[in-house]
Amino acid sequence: MNESRLTDDAFDDLLRRSAPGPLPDEGFSVRTMAVVERAMGAHAVQRRAAPPAPLAIARALAAEQRRHEAQARLWRWAVAGVVAGYLLMVAAVLLSPEGSLAIAIPAPGQWFPLCVLLAAGAIWVAVREWRT
């Protein structure tokens, strides 16, 4: 609600009537939009992405280095796991009473729990990689 309209006073009406009439546009809007276009161009140039600061570059490099070290550590543990498994198998063969190794391939249905375990491990590694 316009407060200045509330007073029903002839004097207020007198003042209000003395308001100048609206100014004709006379090309003002067109000229103004041309200025706006120019200003937009200048603004776009000003807002072009700034080159990264040295500190940001250093942080990005440090993060990349950490990711690389984590992958190398994971690879080393995987290799160590395979070697340890092989050594364990050799030790089991040498310590067995018969001194020989008998390999019994199970039925296909018995492979299922191992497949599930391997698939879960692969997914876990993939998700970890994707997140980093």
Q: Least Å distance between CB 117 and another protein? A: 53
DSSP string across 73-132: HHHHHHHHHHHHHHHHHHHHHHHSSS-S----PPPGGGGHHHHHHHHHHHHHHHHHHHH-
Pick out residues in 1-40 that bind another protein (CB under 8 A). Answer: 1-4, 9-12, 14-16, 18-23, 25, 28-29, 31-33, 35-37, 39-40
Q: Least Å distance between CB 48 and another protein? A: 16
Q: What are phi and psi of 48, to 5 degrees?
A: -60, 145
Which positions lie near another protein, rule CB under 8 A? 1-4, 9-12, 14-16, 18-23, 25, 28-29, 31-33, 35-37, 39-40, 43
